[in-house]
Every structure is written in structure tokens, then in C-alpha cells.
Structure 1
Amino acid sequence: MDAQVGPGTGQATSSALRRALVPLALAQFICSFAGSNMTVMINDISRDLDTTVQGVQLSITLFLLVMAALMIPGGKLTDRYGRKRCFLVGLSVYGVGAVISAVSPGLPVLILGNSLLEGVGTALLIPPVYVLVTLLFTTTVSRAKAFGIVSAAGGVGGAAGPLIGGVITSAVSWRAAFVFQALVIVVIVLLGRRIEDPLPAEPQRPFDLGGAVLSAVGLVLLVMGIMAADDNLWLCLALIAAGALVLAWFLLATRAKERAGREPLLSLSLFRNRTSNLGMITQNAQWLLLSGLSFTVAAYLQVVRGYGAIETGVIFSATTVGLLGASLAAERLARRSPQRTLIVAGFVVTVAGVVLLLLMAPGAASAWAVVPGLFLVGVGLGTMLTPSVNIVQSAFPEHEQGEISGLSRSVSNLGSSLGTAVAGTILVAGIAATPQRAYGLAVAALAVIGCVGLAAALALPRSSGVPVATRVAAGQ
């Protein structure tokens, strides 16, 4: 036996834990897949729904933004209603959204199904994934393996989304990609019914509705402001300022509730852990890079180079191969190298890949010149996704897992939405007039983000990154 179900609940066999891990990893896979597969459908969706590249970007960004805005409340609800219940309800809402997206006659209905319902469903189901992994796998080795599998599933879903989406779109239609998502959701629901929640629900636990509204509105205004930069600079600045003010209001209200002895949506004590704060910055940067590069390169290949969905997906398979290979080696690497070292190395390799994308793609005769850069990005991300998650989740005790899981996933998904918003806004603003320059500016912006992530990784305390093998030998 390598883990326990939870405090006072007895032992669980390795096979039972593996069965529980399958639907959790599949859930992370399909949610990450949903955030990236639409990038290869830009031309198909825009033609079919009589919209524009910017319209498709809006749908993708709103999906990621709804996830980010509601992930913290979603994490809090896991304590009140139970992790398994939130997981299954989230899957159901997501599945309904996927079906609506598949039959959508226009962009507004696509936004309802994909951006809103799938986004809400994801915000409900993802926090329980990370809380359950933390509670079910209680030893250092088993938890590291479990987070490695879940993180790899998410990374592969995000990286393989363009390839799988491209194949489905070319073979059938872009609508079939949403049918595929709905079918996977059905499988996850059937498998997820076997999961046992290690801790009882706390239905009497208060829920800070006001804090949930303020945090969601603040994040939405912030990202929408960034998206407005290509149309109206004053609107952009106004929305960003409004978002910052609402988030400041949220923080002040949270502090007042804590001082009054009331339970807020998010305890400010979570931000007093320096290691966790830096870990979340690295998570944000990782998903920002993956999402931003997926949209930028996919739009460039389709709109500028004239590639179809399947050709674009095949080119993106370089990222999938690199990420999957690095993820498969993650456990061995974690036994030999500190987690901090792996995160730093991951950013170095990723930034090198982004630089290659910046230097080789615009002037190359063939679009296949982006393959080496995409491969390096995949290797870098695969190397650091798992240690970043493990550092954050393991920094807090069981009773704070719901909050930190929601906060951590919100930070990651905010990175995804910012990646599409920032890179997409730069690209869309100039792709019609000066496509090479627009591509270069978007990728250069992402390179800067990679350097910020690298700086955060270098600032991580060295003591936070002891190799798994060393901790096991020390009895931890």
C-alpha cells in the first residue's frame, strides 16, 4: 500500500487509487484540450458561423476567463458540498455546454455553450481534482507520481488539442470536436462514480458570495481590458483600472471579514507563503506561454500561411511529443533533481524554444521551421509543470486544500486566458496589414513572459526543491 484514503478512513489499495486517478487525469486532459483545440478551427468556425478571427478569439478567451474567474469560488464549494459531488456536477454542466456548442448556429450560442457553460463546469470540476489527489495520495512518492500524471494529462491535453482537433475537424467537422468532448465527459462520469471522498462535506460552512462576485468581476474586467487594446486604448485603460479597483475592493473586504472573525472566500494567509506565491507565478507563466503560443502560431499558420486544420495540428504535434516525453521522465527527474532546479531548467528550455519561434518562422520558406521551437517549448513545459503544482499544493495542510487548489487553478487558468488575450490582441491587431510583424511582436511578448517566469523560478528557496528520493530517505 502506498497511500491512505484520508485521516481516519482506513487504507486504500494501490489498484483502487489508480482507478480513482484515471477519471481525475482524464478530467484535466479534456479541460486543457478544450482550451487549445479551437485554435486550429479558426478558419472553419469563422466561415461556418459567419464571424471573424477576433470572434473566435473572444470565445476561446472567455472560456479561459470564466474558468479563472470562478475557480476560487469553485475551490471553496468543494468543502461545503463535497469534492466528489462538485466534480460530478461540474462534469454534467460541462457536458451540456459541449452539446450546445456542437449544434450552435452562431457565435452567441457558441459562447453560451463553450465559453460560459463549459467554463463554469470546468471551474467546478478542476479544484476537486487537485484536492482529491492531495488527500488520496498522502505519501511523498505517491503524491508526486499522481500530480505528475494529472499535470502531464493537462499538458498533453493542451499541447495535443490542436492535433486532435485538427484531425477531427478535417475528417468530420469542427462540431464533431465538441461531440468528442461530450463523449469523454460521459466516460469520466461513469469512472468517477467509483471515487470515494476522503473527507465529509461541510454543508453549514459559510460561502462568501460577495467575495465571489467581486473576485470574478475584477478578473473579467482586467482581461477584457487587455482584449480591448486593439480597438480602443481608452476603453482598455478604463477596464483595466476598473478591474484593479474591484480586486482591491475584494482584498479590503476580505481583510475586514477576517478581522471580524468571519470566513472570507479566500484567506489572505495563503499569500504569506513565499514559496507558494513564487510557485503560482511560475504556473501562471507556464500556461500563459502554452495558451499564447498555441493561438499565435495556429492563427499565423492558418491565416497567413493558409494551412488547414490538420496540417496545423500535425505541426503542433512537435509540442505534444516534447511535452509527453518530458512528462514521462518527470518521476525519474524528480528523484534526482530538486524541484526548483527542474522549474528553472524548464523555463530556460521553453524560452529558448520561444526565441527559435521568433527567429526562424517569419522569414522561413516553409512553416515547418516552427517545429524545433515548438518541440523545445513542449520539453520545457513538460519538465516544470509537475514540480510547480507539487510545490504549491504541498505547502498547505489538508484543511486549506480546497482554498489553495481553487487559487492555484485560478492563477493557472488566468495565465491561459491572459496568454490568448495578450498574444491574440497583438496578433489580431496587425495580422491583416503586417502579418510578419504582428507575429513577431506577439511571440516577443511571450518571450518576455517566459523571462518573468524564469526570474520567479530562480527566486524559489532552494530548500523547497529537495529531490523526492532525498525526502523519502529522510522519512518525510
Structure 2
Amino acid sequence: MGTAESTLASRAARAPILPLALAQFVCSFAGTSTNVAITPIAKDLGTTVSGVQTAITVFTLTMAALMIPGSKLTDILGRKRCFVLGLFIYGAGALLTSLAQGLPAMITGYSLLEGVGSALLIPPVYILVTVSHRDVRSRAKFFGIVSGAGGLGAAAGPLVGGLITSSISWRATFGLQLVLVLLIVWLARSITDTPVARPRPTFDVEGAVLSAAGLVLVVIGLLETRTYGWFVSRADFSIGGVVILPKGSMSPVWLYFAAGAAFLVWFLGHLRRRERRGRAVLVSLRMFSRRAANLGMATQFAQWMSMQGCFFVVSVYLQQVRHFDAITTGLILTPATAGILASSAAAQRLASRRTQRTLIIAGFVLASSGMLLLLVLVRPHNDILLTVPGTLAFGLGVGVMLTASVNLVQSAFPARDQGEISGLSRSVSNLGSTFGTAMAGSVLVAAGIHLKDGRDFGAALLVLLVFTLLGLAAAVFIPRERAATGATALTHIE
């Protein structure tokens, strides 16, 4: 009987992983598949490439602004309810975008509805995995599946999106997202969740506004680096027709950063005041009290920056220098995808043999080695197969460290804090993704994206490598883990 009950419990724990992994896949896929269809979308909707890029930017901004508030809502509405609600909103956005006849409809559907849906459904994915598996090793297996699905979605986005756009239409890409969302809603019936606590916590509206304002301004600053550069402004910065900073002066991106930082400092002060009064807050300050979790989030930032930035740079190189189309570019990136999937699939086995700290360090070493191989081996006239060692090593490293970092951060807090830490962790990862593409894009734009001899590509990749090594340095300072004291231990971190 004991064996039968154990088997049933194991099956019950595994049941939700498919809808959760598919949800992560869809959101990651949406973030990269649209990039290869910018020109067809602009032509079909009667707008400009800049207009479509604006829609993509607003999608990023919406997620950045709402990830933490969306996570807090899981404590108020319930994890499964938030997950399903996010799916319905996301699906409505995909449907509207697939039928869009102009840019405003696309911004409403893709940028706003899909952005809001992502902010609601992504935090429950990580919360449900954490609370469903009580020890770090079993979590590693399922975080590996989710991380692998996310990596697959990000890497497959250009290939699948390019293939569908070329053979059918860009609208079919959003139609595919809608079909997957409906499938996930049906599969989500298998998800079980604990009842919402009574009385329900209140929602910190002022905190949500302050955090959203701060994050939005930071993200806008990152995205504006492509226009103005990081230090010296490449163009006049005007407000209402009045030139505030002329070309050649300080880049205005630092004004955005300063304003964003001011709002975030205001946000922290707001949290401190409310906690002293015993009132509900958007994020408890104790979420910043664990050294291991803080360093884990620093590694998450570096990992997502490295992954998204590297995929962006390599894709630009392959299309601008080697003149490959989107489909071929996606195929060339397949070794990276395979590496992510292979190392993610081995996550549980690796976690049973090595600590999360060791795995994060190993992942950074592998990813850095892959980037170095790309810098050394890839040349404009070399055999394209020489990209395989670098992209494969990079993918293996990313898969190892993504899973381990998520496991480290989520496992550092008990079940009651999972709503807060999940949103904070996802927000950090989202900022890392944005920072990676903004940094890489800024370097390429500074060089005019000529890339005739690959030097600009190398410069961008070298900048990303420096930040990857900084992530490795943060990983080295993660506290060493104690031996597990029991199968139900929530954390093994000192």
C-alpha cells in the first residue's frame, strides 16, 4: 500500500509539469519569434519597421512593469487561478493580434494583453514547481524541464517563426500561440493548488505603481541605448520640440536610469514604512535578506543577459555577414538549443551529485568557453560548422546554470514566500534579457551594423563575455551548501 500511495503521489506531482513547461515555452517563443517577421508585419499592417519595433518594446515594458504585481496576485487570487487567468488574457491577445488590421490593434493584443498575460502566468509556473516538490533534487528535475522549455522557445522562435512566416503568414505564428494556450488551459485541469489564505492579503497599489514606474524607466533607458548610445549621445534628445541634450553631450539614457533609480528608492522606502506599520506590502524586505538568494538573482541576471544577448548577436551576424535567412539561422543555432535541452534534462541527476553553487559555476565556465570558441573559430569565410563547438558549449552551460540558479533562489524561501520571490526573480531575469539585447544592439548600432569583417560582432560578444564572467564571480561568492538534512527540507543554504 505504501508503494502504491508513493506512486500515486509521484504521478500527482508530475501531472502539472506539462502545462507549466508549455506555458514557459509559449512566452519565450513570443519574445523571439516576432523579431524575424518585423518587415512582413510592417508591410501587412501598413506601418513602419519602427512601429513594429515599438510594439515589441511595449511588450517588454509591460512584462517588466507587471511581473512583481502579477506575482503578488497569486497570494490573493490563488496560483492556479492566476495561471489560468493569465492564459485567457494571453490567448485573447494572440487572437486579436492574428486578426489585427493596424498597428494599434497589434499593440493592444501583442504588447498589452500578451504582456499582462505573461506577467500573470509566469510566476505561478515557478511557484507551483517549488511547492509541489519539497527537496532541492526533485525540484531540479522539474525546473530543468521548465528551463529547457524556456530555452527551447527562445532558441526555436526565430526558426519556427521564420518558417511559419515564410510558408504561411506572420499571423499564423500568433494563431499557433493561441492553439497552444487553449491546449495548456485544458491540461491545467491536472494542476492542484492549496486554498488561498484567509483573510486574503490586500494589494499594495502604491507599491505596484512605484515599482512599475522604476522598472519601466530603467527598461526604456536600456532600449534607448540603441538610439543615443551609452555615454555620448549620437543624436539630439528633445522633449516637446526642445533640445534638452544636444548630440555629442551626455547620453540621455542616464536620465532614464536616474529617474528609474529614484522611483525604486522611493519604492523601497515605501515598503519600509508600510512594514513598520504592519501593513501589507508588494514585496517584503526580507526577500533581500538572504545572501545566497541575492547572489543567485545576480547570476540569473547575468545568465539571461548572456543568453538573449548572445542569441541576438549571433543571429545578426549570420544574417548580415553570412546572409543566411531566418530559417537557416535558426538551424545553425540548433546546437545551442540541443545543449540547453540536454543539460536541463540532466538537472536532477546533476543536482544529486553536485551542489547548486557548483553547477552554477560550471555553467558559467561552459558558457564562457562557448563564447570564446565563437570568438576564436568563427570568421566570415570559415566553414559554418565551426560555429557548432561554441554554440553547443554555450547551450550546455546555459542549461546547467539556469536550472541551478532558479532552484537556488526559489529554495531559499519557505512556501509562504514563494509568490513574492518568484515575481522578484522573474523580474530580474526579464531585466537581464532586456539588458543583454540592448547592450549587444548598442555596440552593433555604434558600428553601423556593417559587420563586414566580423569585428563588430566580436566586440559585441566580447562585451557580453565580460558580463558573463562577472556572473561567474558572483557565483563564486554564493555560500556553500550544507548536506541535506531530510527529503522535505526547503533549503540547504547556510
Secondary structure of residue in 2 paired with 1:261:
coil
After the TM superposition, which of the residue ranges 39-48 and 312-321 deviates more from structure 2?
39-48
Say if 1:221 and 1:243, in contact at 8 Å, map to a contact too.
yes
Q: Percent identity?
A: 53
Say if 1:80 and 1:203, in contact at 8 Å, map to a contact too.
no
Matches within 5 A, 1:220-369: 220-232=216-228, 233=233, 234-365=251-382, 367-369=384-386
Say if 2:134 and 2:488, in contact at 8 Å, map to a contact too.
no
Structure 1 partner of 2:392: 375
The one-letter code of the counterpart of 1:281 is A
Distance 1:17 1:463, change over 3 A: closer
Say if 2:292 and 2:408, in contact at 8 Å, map to a contact too.
yes
Q: 2:31 aligns with which of 8, 13, 35?
A: 35
Say if 1:208 and 1:264, in contact at 8 Å, map to a contact too.
yes
2-structure distance, mates of 1:425, 1:357: 20
Say if 1:285 and 1:453, in contact at 8 Å, map to a contact too.
yes
Distance 1:13 1:213, change over 3 A: same
Distance 1:42 1:377, change over 3 A: farther
Q: 1:19 aligns with which of 5, 8, 15?
A: 15
Distance 1:153 1:413, change over 3 A: same
Q: CA deviation at 1:49?
A: 4.9
Q: 1:184 aligns with which of 180, 186, 190?
A: 180
Structure 1 partner of 2:132: 136
2-structure distance, mates of 1:220, 1:2: 52
2-structure distance, mates of 1:99, 1:70: 21
Say if 2:134 and 2:489, in contact at 8 Å, map to a contact too.
no
Structure 2 partner of 1:65: 61
Structure 2 partner of 1:209: 205
1-structure distance, mates of 2:402, 2:365: 14
Distance 1:201 1:89, change over 3 A: farther
Structure with bigger helix share is 1
Residue 472 (structure 2) pairs with residue 419 (structure 1)? no
Structure 1 partner of 2:93: 97
- Could you state the TM-score of these two structures normalised by the residue count of structure 2? 0.87
Matches within 5 A, 1:107-186: 107-186=103-182
Q: Which runs of 5+ in 1 are unaligned?
A: none
After the TM superposition, which of the residue ranges 10-19 and 20-29 deviates more from structure 2?
10-19
Q: Output one character per residue of 1:150-193: Cα deviation in whole Å (capped at 9) or x when no partner.
A: 22222222222223223322322222111111110000001113
Q: CA deviation at 1:110?
A: 3.0
2-structure distance, mates of 1:471, 1:94: 40
Distance 1:196 1:471, change over 3 A: closer
After the TM superposition, which of the residue ranges 373-382 and 139-148 deviates more from structure 2?
139-148
Distance 1:51 1:347, change over 3 A: farther
Q: CA deviation at 1:411?
A: 1.0
Q: 2:75 aligns with which of 79, 82, 90?
A: 79
2-structure distance, mates of 1:56, 1:357: 31
Distance 1:429 1:202, change over 3 A: farther
Q: CA deviation at 1:79?
A: 0.5
Structure 1 partner of 2:238: none
Structure 2 partner of 1:448: 466
Aligned length: 468
Distance 1:368 1:456, change over 3 A: same
Secondary structure of residue in 2 paired with 1:306:
coil
Q: Output one character per residue of 1:5-42: Cα deviation in whole Å (capped at 9) or x when no partner.
A: 9xxxx996322222222111111111112122234334
Say if 1:134 and 1:393, in contact at 8 Å, map to a contact too.
yes
2-structure distance, mates of 1:302, 1:51: 23
Q: Output one character per residue of 1:300-353: Cα deviation in whole Å (capped at 9) or x when no partner.
A: 323443321211111111211111111122222111111111110100111111
Q: 2:481 aligns with which of 436, 456, 463?
A: 463
Q: CA deviation at 1:290?
A: 1.5
Say if 1:49 and 1:105, in contact at 8 Å, map to a contact too.
yes
CA RMSD across the alignment:
2.8
Q: 1:193 aligns with which of 185, 189, 198?
A: 189
Distance 1:437 1:90, change over 3 A: same
Say if 1:343 and 1:384, in contact at 8 Å, map to a contact too.
yes
The one-letter code of the counterpart of 1:420 is T
Q: CA deviation at 1:367?
A: 4.9
Residue 87 (structure 2) pairs with residue 88 (structure 1)? no
Q: Output one character per residue of 1:49-73: Cα deviation in whole Å (capped at 9) or x when no partner.
A: 5666665554444323322321111
Say if 1:362 and 1:440, in contact at 8 Å, map to a contact too.
no
Q: Output one character per residue of 1:242-290: Cα deviation in whole Å (capped at 9) or x when no partner.
A: 1111111111111111112212111111101000001111111111112
Say if 1:288 and 1:418, in contact at 8 Å, map to a contact too.
yes
- Could you state the TM-score of these two structures normalised by the residue count of structure 1? 0.90
The one-letter code of the counterpart of 2:255 is A
Secondary structure of residue in 1 paired with 2:190:
coil
Distance 1:396 1:359, change over 3 A: same
Secondary structure of residue in 1 paired with 2:333:
helix
Structure 2 partner of 1:400: 417
Q: CA deviation at 1:199?
A: 3.1
Q: Which runs of 5+ in 2 are unaligned?
A: 234-250
The one-letter code of the counterpart of 1:457 is A
2-structure distance, mates of 1:106, 1:287: 32
